[in-house]
Amino acid sequence: MSKRILVTGGAGFLGSHLCERLLSDGNEVVCLDNLFTGRRENITPLLDDHRFEFVRHDVTEPIVLEVDAVYHLACPASPVHYQRNPVRTIRTAVEGTLNMLELAREVHARIVITSTSEVYGDPEVHPQPETYWGHVNPIGDRACYDEGKRCAEALAVSYARQYDVGVRIARLFNTYGPRLYENDGRVVSNFILQALHGEPLTVYGEGTQTRSFCYVDDTIEGLVRLLASEHGTAPVNIGSQFEFTMVDLAKLVVELTGSRSEIVHAPLPADDPKQRRADATRAREILAWEPRVQLRDGLLLTIAYFRQRLQRLGVLPAGKNHGGGR
Ligand code: UDP
């Protein structure tokens, strides 16, 4: 049945993909974004759809909208962005979530809170199941995001317990795909852009740290299934179980772009988790969810996106396999 669904952070990387998906499932979508890290161009193609509505609003301010369900995504999520204004990041994670939980309570809407694998910090348990409480530095460079999201989870379960709000909590692991931002410092976008420009790929530290990367369509599928599930408030990891070192990722990007770029090493940022891999058993059991897109295939789609974008912006000559095609 068609629903009216609010997506906060709907003009962002994940949010815009989610808006598209919900519209194609036949829903009405209210996209709320303050365009702090979201981009208007991400949703421009959706504006012609009469079932799509854009509201420019900062989630740290209260708002009430008549909706049936909420996906709460609004928050800067890349280390470069969230560390630029850490106080604002905490306010967005905490006050923003509080306001959206209030909204859900008021209009009796089910709400998906998007948390993060960062709640596990630099994990001492590997891979990370939802039952692991984490190893977070509460005063480190990442604390504004990690602790903000941990508090958001605490708020969400409290609203469920105290006010019977229909809360679902997704812990999203590293996600990549078209519409990643070129300037937000994430490893996948950095490496692809560096390779396409024929510049050295900057591997931080030794490059032995690991992550598991999930293609955006798979992450969105997980979120949609989570909202629909009757499984309750216990958090669910949405992430790939395939783990890669950053050096291996760099080599793969060089191979897939056909670039002549070399790999160089740069200083490792503070509190950079040494290893991360989703234990996605719960998502498999409860949501019958499993990532479908292999890293190689997802990277090819993402590379094609960036190549086209750079050509459109006139940064790469059209048709040329830049980055030093071999
Ligand atoms: N990283 C890297 N080179 C880059 C950007 C990031 O080696 O140009 C590393 C970073 O140190 C981290 C991993 O890639 O170990 C993932 O970084 P990202 O910022 O994408 O996400 P997060 O650290 O939040 O998982």
Q: What is the average pLDDT across 298-323?
A: 85
Ligand 1 center from residue 272 Cα (angstroms): 8
pLDDT on residue 183: 83
Kindly state whether residue 321 falls inside one of the protein's structural domains: no
Residue 234 φ then ψ, to 5°: -60, 130
Kindly state whether residue 56 falls inside one of the protein's structural domains: yes
Specify the number of domains making up the chain: 1
Q: What is the number of the ligand 1 atom nearest to the C-alpha of 204?
A: 7
Closest of 124, 75, 125 to residue 95, by C-alpha:
75
Report the catalytic residues: 145
Nearest CA to ligand 1 atom 11: 204
Residue with tokens 């984490």: 134
Between the alpha carbon of residue 234 and those of residues 33, 231, 276, 286, the distances in Å are: 27, 8, 20, 11
Residue with tokens 């008549």: 66
* Three-state helix/strand/coil letters over 62-82: CCCCCCCEEEECCCCCCHHHH
pLDDT on residue 141: 94
Question: Is ligand 1 within 6 A of the CB of residue 190?
Answer: yes
Residue 272 φ then ψ, to 5°: -70, 115
Residue 316 pLDDT more than 90? no
CATH number of the domain where residue 224 is located: 3.40.50.720
Ligand 1 center from residue 232 Cα (angstroms): 32
Reported as a pLDDT band with limits 50, 70 and 90, residue 324 is very low
Reported as a pLDDT band with limits 50, 70 and 90, residue 326 is very low
DSSP state of 45: G
Kindly state whether residue 197 falls inside one of the protein's structural domains: no
Residues 173, 76: Cα–Cα separation, whole Å: 15
Model pLDDT for residues 186-231, shown as the tens digit of each residue: 999 999 999 999 999 999 999 999 999 999 999 999 999 999 999 8
pLDDT on residue 319: 62
Residue 79 pLDDT more than 60? yes
Kindly state whether residue 249 falls inside one of the protein's structural domains: no
Q: What is the average pLDDT across 301-326?
A: 78
Locate 144 and state its tokens.
């504004």
Question: Is ligand 1 within 6 A of the CB of residue 272?
Answer: yes
Question: Is ligand 1 within 6 A of the CB of residue 75?
Answer: no
Residue with tokens 């006010």: 163
| Packing angle of the helix pair 295-312, 187-197 (nearest 10 deg) | 60
Q: What is the average pLDDT across 76-87?
A: 92
Ligand 1 center from residue 67 Cα (angstroms): 36
pLDDT on residue 72: 98
Ligand 1 center from residue 17 Cα (angstroms): 22
**What average pLDDT does the chain have?**
95
Model pLDDT for residues 114-132, shown as the tens digit of each residue: 999 999 999 999 999 999 9
Ligand 1 center from residue 269 Cα (angstroms): 9
Model pLDDT for residues 239-272, shown as the tens digit of each residue: 999 999 999 999 999 999 999 999 999 999 988 9
Whether the link from the prior residue into 127 is cis, omega within 30° of 0, is: yes
Domain residues for the domain of 89 are 4-179+215-241+277-293
Residue of 78, 122, 186 with the most ligand 1 atoms within 8 Å of its CB, for mutation: 186
DSSP secondary structure, 256-318, as one string: HHT----EEEEPPPTT--S---B--HHHHHHH-----S-HHHHHHHHHHHHHHHHHHTTSS-T
Residue 64 pLDDT more than 50? yes
Longest CA pairwise span in the chain (Å): 61
Kindly state whether residue 224 falls inside one of the protein's structural domains: yes
Residues 10, 280: Cα–Cα separation, whole Å: 25
Model pLDDT for residues 5-55, shown as the tens digit of each residue: 999 999 999 999 999 999 999 999 999 999 998 999 999 999 999 999 999
Pairing of strands 263-266, 214-215: unpaired
Kindly state whether residue 152 falls inside one of the protein's structural domains: yes
DSSP state of 241: S
Question: Is ligand 1 within 6 A of the CB of residue 203?
Answer: yes
22 sits in which H/E element: helix 13-24
Residues 136, 79: Cα–Cα separation, whole Å: 15
Residues 141, 152: Cα–Cα separation, whole Å: 18
Q: What is the average pLDDT across 171-175?
A: 97
Kindly state whether residue 271 falls inside one of the protein's structural domains: no
Kindly state whether residue 195 falls inside one of the protein's structural domains: no
Nearest CA to ligand 1 atom 19: 186
Q: What is the number of the ligand 1 atom nearest to the C-alpha of 201?
A: 8
Other Cβ atoms closer than 10 A to 184: 17
Reported as a pLDDT band with limits 50, 70 and 90, residue 295 is very high
Residue 325 pLDDT more than 70? no
Locate 34 and state its tokens.
């303050």
